[in-house]
């Protein structure tokens, strides 16, 4: 599975206030539409994003204004509600990733085109979409209540299941007027889709934004041409046809893939008995609610014990406590002494940090907007030493 923390993180992400870094953002609701572009019949309806009203032959799309990193991995979590059916209700909605020529104004056709695909002369090219389809239009649909991942590489997208790399029926009726939760998760290798059951994916298929993937028919399809840095526009589309329903998005959260975290300071550290300057590095995400941060200390002498330190104050004290190194933290200092580590044969150790319980007084929680400083202390022969420091600004 792409990640096992979906069930806990997905709910926590809904609490994050609307922000926009191009990497992580959140809309707990849509009472504030800042940072979004809507097209055709899409717009704000009270606190929700309404992609289409319940009227015939409608279409709408909405995209986050900042091109967003997709190739390195992401977690997209949203809640949606499909209601007020007429004529049996149709057609459904889609989550869309694209780098089309129309940019933020990209939109496909109405009806089975779901606002992204070609039905007459409109389609979003250079795209990958996840359909939440509520109408069986034939052409291989596995029913009138299914999820499917569609792409034609850089060509205009299509709604026929000949262009699906994975599909599955959904147990609950998505157009039942209830609120449903969906997650689209990608780790750089596998794309997974969850609906309501946030533990077991409905779809889990290989995908690479550069080289592409394989259709259900067995034919290969190429990847997308993304913008610099592996970015693309992300958002939603929906459509109605001869039958209709409302397509509402109630909340939307985006968390980018894990990567290097923090800025080094107090560098280089004093040499230790290995002849090297020990270093600290971070990996994960700076979004607090993701609670994804690991710290690594490296270039230490082998088979020595040590632990990490943290503080909200940067400082510099040479030879603290008789050490051969420099303490780069001040104020109240937390010690991860319960996570005592050995540098082993590689002269390195790593811990996962619980941002809800840093070992300062009474297990302090990290809050968005705070900067925290980290360092590692380690035994060094008959004395001790320190790594350099790491500064992390959390969101």
Looking at residue 5, its pLDDT comes to 34
CB count within 10 Å of CB 45 equals: 13
Same-domain pairing of 145 and 285: no
- DSSP one-letter code for 288: G
DSSP 299-367: SPPTT-EEEEEEESEEEEEETGGG-SSEEEEESS-EE-GGG-EE-GGGT-EEEE--TT-BSSTT-BPP-
Same-domain pairing of 291 and 216: no
Same-domain pairing of 107 and 67: yes
Same-domain pairing of 348 and 223: no
∠ Cα 37 86 180 (to 5°): 55
Q: Name the residue range of residue 295's domain.
A: 259-393
Looking at residue 290, its pLDDT comes to 73
Same-domain pairing of 250 and 337: no
Same-domain pairing of 249 and 268: no
What average pLDDT is seen over the chain? Answer: 91
Cβ-based neighbours of 394, under 8 Å, separated by 6 or more = 286, 287, 288, 355, 366, 367, 368, 369, 370, 371, 372
Flag the least confident range among 72-76, 269-273, 310-314.
72-76
Cβ-based neighbours of 111, under 8 Å, separated by 6 or more = 57, 90, 91, 119, 137, 239, 240, 241, 242
Flag the least confident range among 137-146, 216-225, 242-251.
137-146
- Determine, yes or no, domain membership for 23: yes
Q: What is the pLDDT of residues 188-218, one digit of tens each?
A: 889 999 999 988 899 999 999 999 999 999 9
At which of 240, 256, 272 does a domain end? 256
From the number of C-beta atoms within 10 Å of its C-beta (0-12, 13-18, 19+), residue 168 rates as: middle
251 pLDDT more than 90: yes
- Split into its structural domains, the chain has a count of 2
Q: What is the pLDDT of residues 326-380, one digit of tens each?
A: 999 999 999 999 999 999 999 999 999 999 999 998 889 999 899 999 999 999 9
- Determine, yes or no, domain membership for 34: yes
Q: How far is CA 328 from the centre of its chain?
A: 33
- Determine, yes or no, domain membership for 351: yes
Same-domain pairing of 184 and 270: no
- DSSP one-letter code for 18: P
228 pLDDT more than 70: yes
282 pLDDT more than 70: yes
**With the C-alpha atoms ordered 110, 115, 118, 122, is the resulting torsion angle positive or negative?**
positive
Same-domain pairing of 347 and 237: no
Same-domain pairing of 299 and 243: no
Same-domain pairing of 156 and 38: yes
In 3D space, the residue among 257, 176, 249, 258 whose CA is nearest the CA of residue 28 turns out to be 249
Same-domain pairing of 232 and 378: no
């Amino acid at each position: 599975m792409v990640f096992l923390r979906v069930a806990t993180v997905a709910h926590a992400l809904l609490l994050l206030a609307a922000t926009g870094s191009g990497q992580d953002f959140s809309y707990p609701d849509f009472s504030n539409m800042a940072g979004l572009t809507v097209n055709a019949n899409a717009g704000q309806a009270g606190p929700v994003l309404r992609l289409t009203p319940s009227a015939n032959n409608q279409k709408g799309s909405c995209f986050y204004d900042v091109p967003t990193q997709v190739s390195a991995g992401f977690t997209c979590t949203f809640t949606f509600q499909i209601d007020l059916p007429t004529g049996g209700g149709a057609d459904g909605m889609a989550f869309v990733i694209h780098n089309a020529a129309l940019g933020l104004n990209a939109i496909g056709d109405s009806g089975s085109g779901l606002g992204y695909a070609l039905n007459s002369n409109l389609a979003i090219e250079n795209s990958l979409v996840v359909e939440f389809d509520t109408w069986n239009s034939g052409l291989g649909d596995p029913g009138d209540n299914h999820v499917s991942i569609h792409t034609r590489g850089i060509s205009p997208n299509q709604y026929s299941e000949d262009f699906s790399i994975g599909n599955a029926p959904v147990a609950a009726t998505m157009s039942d007027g209830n609120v449903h939760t969906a997650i689209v998760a990608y780790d750089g290798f596998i794309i997974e889709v969850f609906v309501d059951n946030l533990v077991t994916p409905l779809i889990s298929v290989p995908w690479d934004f550069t080289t592409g993937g394989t259709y259900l028919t067995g034919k290969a399809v190429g990847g997308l041409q993304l913008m610099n840095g592996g970015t693309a526009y992300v958002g939603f589309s929906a459509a109605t046809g001869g039958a209709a329903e409302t397509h509402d998005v109630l909340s939307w959260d985006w968390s980018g893939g894990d990567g290097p975290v923090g800025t080094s300071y107090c560098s280089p550290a004093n040499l230790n008995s290995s002849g090297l300057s020990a270093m600290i590095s971070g990996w994960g995400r700076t979004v607090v609610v993701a609670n994804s941060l690991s710290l690594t200390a490296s270039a230490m002498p082998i088979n020595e014990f040590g632990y990490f330190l943290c503080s909200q104050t940067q400082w510099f004290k040479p030879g603290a406590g008789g050490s051969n190194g420099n303490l780069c933290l001040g104020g109240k200092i937390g010690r991860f002494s319960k996570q005592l580590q050995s540098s082993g044969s590689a002269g390195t150790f790593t811990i996962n940090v619980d941002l809800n319980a840093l070992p300062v007084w009474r297990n302090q929680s990290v809050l968005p907007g705070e900067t925290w400083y980290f360092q590692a202390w380690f035994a060094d022969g008959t004395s001790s030493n320190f790594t350099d420091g790491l500064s992390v600004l959390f969101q």
